[in-house]
Amino acid sequence: MRYVRMLLVALLAIILVGVALANRQLVTVSLFPGRLDRYMGGDWQVQMPLFLVIILALLAGMILGLIWEWMRETAVRQESARRAHDLQVLEREVRGLRVTHHAPRDEVLAILDAPKPGPAPAPTPAAANTALPATSATLPARR
């Protein structure tokens, strides 16, 4: 991309030099039309090479276009700044909520976030030998 940009700048420079060499004759540039300048007092005319008139006209057009777009996009820049400020406020609020409400309030999330129980401990030999008394609430033996 860098080489393409340099190529375009070099091409533009060659074109501008070509225009300058082809338009070297002097022209008279007057600020007021006709003979109106003699009523204004002073000399309102200047002689300069034609290529300079062309380049100055292009530069003036670019500067006017830049100013026009800058003024037109003022509302967009203000809206963008307002949204950036709102985003900073919301991010600050979320950071504060993460600190103050560390534990989840939702029961499902609390179950999912609870530590997993480890494997059940193996029964001790003394506990394995003790038989539970049979009650009527026990299930019948398998056949």
Q: What is the pLDDT of residues 62-121, one digit of tens each?
A: 999 999 999 999 999 999 999 999 999 999 998 888 777 765 567 777 777 777 777 766
Domain coverage including residue 34:
9-100
Q: Residue 86 region, left (φ>0) first, then alpha (ψ -120 to 50), else beta?
A: alpha
Tokens matching residue 49: 């090479």
> 49 — phi, psi (to 5°)?
-65, 150
pLDDT in tens, 39-56: 777 778 889 999 899 889
Q: Please, which pLDDT band fits residue 141 given cuts at 50, 70 and 90?
A: low
Domain count, the chain: 1
Residue 141: CB partners within 8 Å, gap ≥ 6?
Answer: none
Residue 113 within a domain: no
- Contact of 24 with 49, CB cutoff 8 Å: yes
Q: How many CA atoms lie within 13 A of 97 on its CB side?
A: 8
Residue 57 within a domain: yes
Residue 15 within a domain: yes
